[in-house]
Amino acid sequence: MKISVIGGGYVGLVSAVCFAQMGHTVGLIEIDIDRASSISRGSPQIYEKGLGVLLSKHLEKSLHVSTAYDAIPDTDISFICVGTPEGDNGSPDLSIVQSACQSLGRSLRDKDSYHVVVVKSTVPPGTTEGLVVPTVLEHSHRAGDEIGFCMNPEFLREGRAVEDFMHPDRIVIGSNDSRAGDRAESAYRGIEVPIIRTGIKSAEMIKYASNAFLATKISFANEIGNLCKRLDIDVYEVMKGVGMDHRISPHFLDAGAGFGGSCFPKDLSALIALAQSLGEEPLILRSVLKVNERQPVRMLELLEEKIGSLEGKRIAVLGLAFKNDTDDVRQSRSIPVILELEEMGARIAAYDPQANDNMKKLIPDIEYCSRVTDALKDADACIVMTEWPEFSLLDEEFDLMKNRVIIEGRRILSCQDKEGICW
């Protein structure tokens, strides 16, 4: 098939590259000139395992990058993969989706055959039918039966996005007419997984409900973990026992500093805002966020319990990314921890294998170390905020500290004398 992908962020770029890998001819449209040119050079601005190799393999062969929408009419189907950042009062800001739809609509004016528009961006239920369809139709001057519309949510995890694209648990295609849905489905031919066909609004909701449920599992594990710590019970042992029930599953029950990233916090806020706008009080969702916001505070309480006032103390913060295998610091639990440490007068020595530069843009005035040992040297305490595998074997390195006061926000260390946030 000939596929166009609109938006060269992590979802769009990964999708474009993977569609090319599946044998399609792909046009990637990215209007940000800097971002487009780094993708064209084969060096994307995001760090994603396996992406660079596939990008270089397909660039200028089956994958073409452009800043304009000119190539859209030559394609059979367009995937909208632009950002939906958190806007006012938790609702997502849909202005980028809207302007992408205007440009997409205009580009379809002269196309004389059927085209399918697929929304991949995470959007609140009703957005595809209420915003995307009318905007594209208005700007294309074409009739409703000449353009088909689908909603196809993505379930990619940062750091494993290529793997997730190629080997998903399921593919969800929401459409209100089978012709459009069939075309979207055929873009995934070759991936052997269940394809769930739903209505458009259900597909939109499946994405939000999936992320909200996964976030709930984490906050649930954290709440049980906080309780376990008081009772001197190992929450990891407990969750292993709980997760072995196939109705629950062992995944996403790792207690710790809480969830970060660009998706869970944003999508939960969007769902809460949606519930509120409907006059519903989303009790569980609010609690999920509340537990998550309290976990970083608990790290600092534990720290103070160990070393007293933090004023003037040197604290090594290991891990800045919101999780391992990414340089993304968006909504990382390290952010509230570092800001509060600064507030308390601590001196911070931070280290992350990938994310130092990104965190420096957000919080410029702390010490960033290029080696873990530089951060640990003479530290009064160390806190581990990201589950980087390279931290797992740290042991003698902690001897560089003034005292071995080690607090884990993620269960990753194997040394003996550490203490976990809730274990």
Question: Least CB distance from residue 252 to ligand UGA, whole Å?
Answer: 4
Considering only the stretches 51-59, 150-158, 298-306, 369-377, report the one whose residues sit in contact with ligand UGA under the rule CB under 6 A: 150-158
Output the CA angle 331-333-337, nearest 5 degrees. 120
Q: Give 184-203 as a DSSP string.
A: HHHHTTT--S-EEEE-HHHH
Q: Considering only residues 30, 158, 223, 325, which one is a binding residue for ligand UGA as defined by CB under 6 A?
A: 158
Q: What whole-number distance in Å separates Cα of residue 136 and Cα of residue 185? A: 21
Say how far apart CA 132 and CA 126 lie, in whole Å. 9
> In the 8-state DSSP scheme, what is residue 49?
T
Under the binding rule (CB under 6 A), the answer on residue 124 touching ligand UGA is no
| CA–CA distance, 303 with 288 (Å, rounded to integer) | 24
Q: Does 253 bind ligand UGA (CB under 6 A)?
A: yes
For residues 101 and 263, which CB has a smaller minimum distance to ligand UGA in the complex? Answer: 263
Residues 190-219 as x/- pattern, contact with ligand UGA by CB under 6 A? ---------------------x--x---x-
Cβ within 8 Å of residue 295, ≥6 positions away: 222, 256, 257, 258, 333, 409, 421
Least CB distance to ligand UGA at residue 331 (A)? 8
CB of 329 to ligand UGA, least distance (A): 11
> What is the C-alpha separation between 355 and 371, in angstroms, rounded?
13
**Least distance in Å: CB of 253 to ligand UGA?**
6
Does 407 interact with ligand UGA (rule: CB under 6 A)?
no
Q: Does 157 bind ligand UGA (CB under 6 A)?
A: yes
Residue from 101, 263, 369, 422 carrying the catalytic annotation: 263
Output phi, psi for 86, to 5 deg. Answer: -65, 130
Active site residue 263: yes
> Is residue 252 a contact point for ligand UGA (CB under 6 A)?
yes
Candidate segments 31-39, 109-117, 254-262, 364-372, binder of ligand UGA by CB under 6 A: 254-262
- Residue closer to ligand UGA by CB (options 155, 398) is 155
* Window of 92-100, 252-260, 276-284, 341-349 that interacts with ligand UGA by CB under 6 A: 252-260
- Residue 86 pairs with which residues in a beta bridge? 92
- Binding to ligand UGA, residues 257-316 (CB under 6 A): 258-261, 263-264
Beta-strand relationship, 63-66 and 314-318: unpaired
Q: What is the DSSP string of 110-152?
A: T--S-EEEEE-S---TTHIIIIIHHHHHHHHT--TTTEEEEE-
254 binds ligand UGA (CB under 6 A): yes
Q: Among residues 180 and 384, whose Cβ is nearest to ligand UGA?
A: 384
How do beta strands 147-151 and 171-175 pair? antiparallel
Using CB under 6 A as the binding rule, whether residue 236 contacts ligand UGA is answered as no
Number of residues lying near ligand UGA (CB under 6 A): 21
* Binds ligand UGA (CB under 6 A): choice among 19, 47, 155, 236: 155
Q: How far apart are CA 254 and CA 96, in angstroms?
A: 34
Nearest to 115 by CA among 184, 66, 171: 184
Shortest distance, position 372 Cβ to ligand UGA, whole Å: 19
- Of 148 and 258, nearer to ligand UGA (C-beta) is 258
By CB under 6 A, is residue 154 in contact with ligand UGA? yes
Nearest to 297 by CA among 251, 329, 344: 344
Q: d(Cα 52, Cα 328) in Å, to the nearest integer?
A: 17
Residues 308-367 that bind ligand UGA (CB under 6 A): 322-323
* Neighbouring residues of 172: CB distance < 8 A, sequence distance ≥ 6: 152, 153, 195, 196, 198, 203, 206, 207
Q: Does 49 engage in binding with ligand UGA (CB under 6 A)?
A: no
Active site residues: 263
Give contact residues for ligand UGA (rule: CB under 6 A): 122, 154-158, 211, 214, 218, 252-254, 256, 258-261, 263-264, 322-323
